[in-house]
């Protein structure tokens, strides 16, 4: 016989997926769920933990269990996809706001990330990505000016990759990626609709042309409830 907490988990998960609870609404309190399912508080907490682990709810301090949108956006880990291309695939109402566009000299951290000389020029671009009215991605992009000579706000509101490939005629080839989960910075809290979330998913990209020239470093900072990071893996024998 299936464990009681798994039965409760499945019933609530089915309700969320079937539209019984709207995204952003709260589940009934633990006390109310104990009464509803005629079980212990420990069993309810195990069911809620399973729901949180599988992306159906987010436990927010002081607010209870918040129902998440079961339709998470697939973000390919191994692919190189621009936000414009991702937005086209999602079909949602996507908007890009350019918060910063400046030419800078790299600090020591950026010199290491971009393998750039201290006196070189770097484009610094900050963009907020909004989908269906919610600001859920904060992108911090850095491009070597020696490869990308000119950037405008109009280009940055669209696709910089499209500009590089189709206007500059350069072939973007591959990237090295790092994915971490971090506490939000003050910038994250200012630019993202975090709504009580205490972590952000940070995807760092080191992007190369087909001649292996490193031209871009990116920090893409995501609200944790809206994306699942997907990949395909094949086991190979030693």
Dump pLDDT digits (tens) for 176-191: 889 899 999 999 999 9
Contact of 189 with 204, CB cutoff 8 Å: no
Boundaries of domain holding 129: 73-229
Asked whether residue 51 is domain-assigned, the answer is: yes
pLDDT at 157: 92
Asked whether residue 144 is domain-assigned, the answer is: yes
| HSE-CB for 196 with a 13 A CA cutoff | 13
C-alpha span between 29 and 197 (Å, rounded): 19
Can you read off the two tokens belonging to residue 11? 């019933």
Higher confidence at residue 18 or residue 215? 215
Count of structural domains, the chain: 2
* Pairing of β 172-182 and β 64-67: unpaired
Residues 45 and 80 in one domain: no
Can you read off the two tokens belonging to residue 213? 């020239």
Name which of 140, 133, 129 is nearest 75 in CA terms.
129
Asked whether residue 99 is domain-assigned, the answer is: yes
Asked whether residue 216 is domain-assigned, the answer is: yes
Question: For position 42, which CATH number holds?
Answer: 1.10.10.10
Residues 22 and 102 in one domain: no
Choose the final residue of a domain: 28, 46, 67: 67
Residues contacting 44, CB < 8 A, separation 6+: 5, 8, 30, 33, 34, 37
User: Confidence class of residue 94 from pLDDT cuts 50, 70 and 90?
Assistant: confident
| Highest mean pLDDT pick, 51-60, 64-73, 102-111 | 102-111
């Amino acid at each position: 016989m299936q464990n009681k907490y798994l039965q409760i988990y499945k019933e609530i998960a089915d309700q969320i997926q079937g539209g019984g609870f709207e995204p952003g609404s709260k589940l009934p309190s633990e006390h109310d769920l104990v009464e509803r399912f005629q079980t212990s508080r420990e069993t309810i907490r195990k069911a809620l933990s399973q729901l949180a682990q599988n992306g159906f709810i987010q436990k927010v301090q002081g607010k209870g269990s918040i129902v998440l949108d079961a339709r998470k956006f697939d973000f390919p880990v191994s692919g190189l996809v621009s936000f414009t291309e991702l937005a086209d695939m999602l079909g949602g109402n996507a908007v890009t706001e350019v918060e910063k566009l400046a030419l800078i000299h790299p600090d020591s951290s950026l010199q290491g990330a971009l393998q750039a000389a201290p006196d070189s020029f770097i484009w610094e671009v900050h963009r907020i990505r909004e989908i269906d009215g919610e600001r859920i991605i904060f992108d911090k992009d850095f491009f070597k000016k020696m490869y990308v000579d000119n950037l405008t706000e109009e280009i940055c509101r669209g696709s910089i990759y499209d500009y590089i490939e189709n206007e500059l005629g350069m072939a973007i080839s591959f990237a090295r990626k790092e994915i971490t989960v971090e506490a939000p910075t003050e910038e994250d809290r200012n630019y993202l609709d975090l709504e009580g979330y205490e972590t952000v998913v940070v995807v760092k990209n080191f992007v190369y042309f087909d001649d292996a020239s490193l031209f871009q470093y990116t920090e893409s900072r995501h609200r944790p409830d809206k994306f699942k990071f997907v990949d395909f893996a094949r086991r190979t024998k030693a």
